[in-house]
Each structure stands twice: as structure tokens, then as C-alpha cells.
Amino acid sequence: MERIETDVCVIGAGSGGLSVAAGAVQMGARVVLVEGGRMGGDCLNYGCVPSKALIAAAKQAHALRSGARFGIAPAEPEIDYAAVKDHVRHAIDTIAPVDSQERFEGLGVGVLREWGHFISETELQAGDHVIRARRFVIATGSSPLVPPIEGLDGVPYYTNETIFDLREKPEHLIIIGGGNIGIEMAQAHARLGSRVTVIEGAEVLSRDDADAREIVLARVRAEGVEIVEGQQAERISGQPGEITVETGQGRHTGSHLLVAVGRSVNVAQLDLDKAGVSHGRAVEVDDRLRTSNRRIYAVGDAAGRMQFTHVAGYHGGVVIRSLLFGLPARAKQSHIPWTTYTDPELAQVGPTEAQARERWGDAVEVVRANYDESDRAIAEGRPEGFVKVMVVKGKPVGATIVGAQAGELIGMWALAISAGLKMSAISTAVLPYPTLMELNKRAAGAYFSPRLFDNAWVKRIVGAVQRFVP
């Protein structure tokens, strides 16, 4: 058994782990990175990158069908599903060198391609190596949650870890789960020529703003996706090419099945009890992302908070400040945005309108700008959607955007909330015309309009100035 002494041992080579490893080693720390699976983690190999590549291909197919409103004759695209997957693979392969073992070894990180588990409060075993480190960072991510549905283990099914390897276009794809992954994959496959049925036990996109959710679902349904809400999948039967999902209210038969009901944090194999680390479904951490063992931190999905790649990267930065400089850096969530990459996109930062009203009551003001007020949206034939901002004492506390490029537009509000900016900072910004970004400024203007234009005192002052100031 080979023994290794190091300053920092990072367990997991996804977004959070790679951020910590790269930052620590480049600032002079000795770093060992342990990864038994693929470098780059879920985001590169099974999540963000392949899904957005598939969505991009689906948008191209949809564009051919929907040119009539621009005076361009629509055409039914000829879709080579295997070639679409080649595009997906090309995207992964192009990005992979940035996350590769070779790159990190070039930075000076010791990379062990083994699964690791704790053997004491200060030691981790990975294959034939025992690593003793001053600090450990758990960055093991999560895996698709497979629910205990009767019969599921007897039929072929896909998760986000396997669906991108499918080379034959599904004739009829049934998706169990109506979260962001389920709905993104539903619309993408419908645009690529599959029949699609989504089965959701509660509400589809249930955590999102109700008004925004309805706009997205109206478009997805209009493109042919069947959405079944409020029905749990109770039993599954069939064989390859003919799989039936039974709910309490009906039966749905399709050619392929995708299970997208959530994520399960990867902590079971770590032997956390031997390290003195408290845990439940995820690792228990404080605001500094430290565990009950002060030598050990957890980031990203492993920390049991928001399950997004950018959150893991953000956590990495927080931990770096603590590990290397001893600074009391704390992880917050109020400024973290997220996006569902449907068409139209749905983006959120901070609380929704309902959540803000529940927290602040009458103290919250809600302002809104609609896409059909945007010259750019009108010119591009994309007038559906809105920007909605929740404001308390002149500062934005949350924002919802549904519409074209919502994921890009939400960044301004994430910055405003993170920096504690007032609405005036947005309203006085000078933005290029015509851009969708102007919708953010229009929403900020809607906050000030009644204060200026419906205010009797303002009108009196203006009137006095016009009469007495030469």
C-alpha cells in the first residue's frame, strides 16, 4: 500500500472538485485528486453539455418547420438521429481536454483514477493508495435517482447517464418526471421527431413561478408533447420497443422509457462514519461548507444544497478561501440563478413572486416588463414571455424571466442581488438598442414610473420649476 502525504485531497472530478483542485495547486498547495469515474463529472459527460448540444440540434429542426411567419416556406427536416448524437459527442470531446487528467497533472495535481473511501478522520484509501491530507474536499456529485416502481427493473430504461448513448430515434419516448431535465428532453425529442409523453406525479416544473410555468408548458404542448400531471407511475411492464407505464388513472405505452425523477447524492461508498462526518441523504455542512470533521469540506451536490454545476463551482471558490487563506468565507444561496433550457427558456434567481409574498408580505413590490414591449423580441417574432422582479425597499430580491434568452438575461439580476444594487442601478444603465437586455431596464423603469408619473408632489415641483426658473 503506497502512502501519500498532501495538503488537500479532493474527492470527485466534477465542476466543484476541479475548481478546488485547480485553484489550490496554482496557489502553491499540494493537491491530490481522486476520481473513479470520468473526468468532468456529470455536467460534461451526462448533463449540461450533452443536453444543451441535443437541444441545439432540436432547435435547428424546429426552425425549418416554423419559418412561415417570416415569409419562409416551412419544410419538414430530415433528421439523422445518430448524426445528432455525433454532434453531442463532438461537443463533449471538444470540452473534455479542459477537464482532463493530462491537464490537471500538467498543473501539478496528483490524479488517482480510483474510487475513494475514508479509513480514518485524516486518511482516505483509493485503490492501493492511502492519502493523508491536512484537508479533504468531498465533491462526489450525484447520480440519477431510480424510484422503486413495480416492474421497472424488468424493462429497459434510460436515465440522463445513458440517454445520450442512444443512437436510434425513439418512436415514442415516455418520460417519468416533469422537472427541468424531463421537460428539456421532452421538447428536444419532440422537435427531433419522436412522440413524447411526460408523466409527473405532482405538477410539471412545480418549483417555478406559476405564470412562467404556464407559458413554457403551453409551448411544449403545442409542439405535440403529451403532459400527464398528478398521476404517479405505479407499475411498468413490457419489453424492448413496447413499454407500458400504468398510473392510477390510465396506461401509457411507448417504445422507450426515460426516468428523470431527481438526483441521489453520491455519499454511500465514502464510509463517512469512519471520518466522523455527519450525513443524511447528503453531507451535513455549515455555512462555510465544513462538515462535523473540521478537516473535511463538501461542495456541490454532495453538500445537499442547490444541484447545479455553477453552484458547485461557486462552492469551490468559497472553500478555496477557507482552505488556503483561513478566511471565514460563507456560501449563500440568495443570489444563485438557474435556468430551464426549454424554448422559451425559464430562468429564476432568488424567490418567486409567491415565495417573496410569503416572506415579506406587503413589503414586496412586483414589477414586470413583457416581451411584447421589446422591439427586438417583436422583430424576431418572439413576443411571448416576461421579466418579473420582486423588490423590497428599493432593492431586487428575486427575478423570474420566461422567454427567449432568459438564461442570459437573468445574469443582470443575479449580479444586482449579489452586489446589493438598487433598482436605480438597473434603470440608469445605458444598453444597446435593440436588445432583449432592455427588458431588464424596462422592468426597473416600471418600479419608478408610479413614483414619478403618478406622484402629485413631483408634478407640483415640475410645474413650479417651469414657472419660476428662467
29: pLDDT strictly greater than 60 = yes
Please name the CATH architecture into which domain 152-262 falls: 3-Layer(bba) Sandwich (3.50)
Q: Give the residue carrying C-alpha cell 415565495.
A: 355
On whether the CB atoms of residues 312 and 15 are closer than 8 A, the answer is yes
**Nearest CA to 198 among 239, 252, 143?**
252
Grid cell for residue 13: 472530478
**Nearest CA to 119 among 127, 133, 130?**
130
CATH of domain 337-453: 3.30.390.30
Per-residue pLDDT tens over the stretch 403-450: 999 999 999 999 999 999 999 999 999 999 999 999 999 999 999 877
Domain with CATH 3.30.390.30 in the chain: 337-453
Percent helix, strand and coil across the chain, each to the nearest 5: 40, 25, 35
Q: Distance between CA atoms of 114 and 1, rounded to whole angstroms? A: 14
pLDDT computed for residue 452 by the predictor = 54
pLDDT computed for residue 455 by the predictor = 59
Q: Distance between CA atoms of 355 and 357, rounded to whole angstroms? A: 6
Percent share of the chain, pLDDT over 70: 96
462: pLDDT strictly greater than 60 = no
Please name the CATH architecture into which domain 2-39+100-143+264-325 falls: 3-Layer(bba) Sandwich (3.50)
458: pLDDT strictly greater than 60 = no
Residue 217 half-sphere exposure toward CB, CA atoms < 13 A: 19
Mean pLDDT of the chain: 94
- The binding site comprises 52, 116, 140-142, 177-184, 200, 262, 301
Percent share of the chain, pLDDT over 90: 92
Q: Of all helices (H) and strands (E), which one includes residue 150? A: none
Mean pLDDT in residue range 78-82? 97
DSSP single-letter state for residue 203:
-
245: pLDDT strictly greater than 60 = yes
Mean pLDDT in residue range 98-115? 97
pTM of the model: 0.94
Q: Distance between CA atoms of 274 and 270, rounded to whole angstroms? A: 9
- The binding site for FAD comprises 52, 116, 140-142, 301
- The binding site for NAD(+) comprises 177-184, 200, 262
Q: What is the dihedral of CA 93, 57, 216, 415, to 10 degrees?
A: 40
Domain with CATH 3.50.50.60 in the chain: 2-39+100-143+264-325, 152-262
Q: Distance between CA atoms of 387 and 445, rounded to whole angstroms? A: 12
Give the model's confidence band at 1: pLDDT under 50 very low, under 70 low, under 90 confident, else very high.
confident
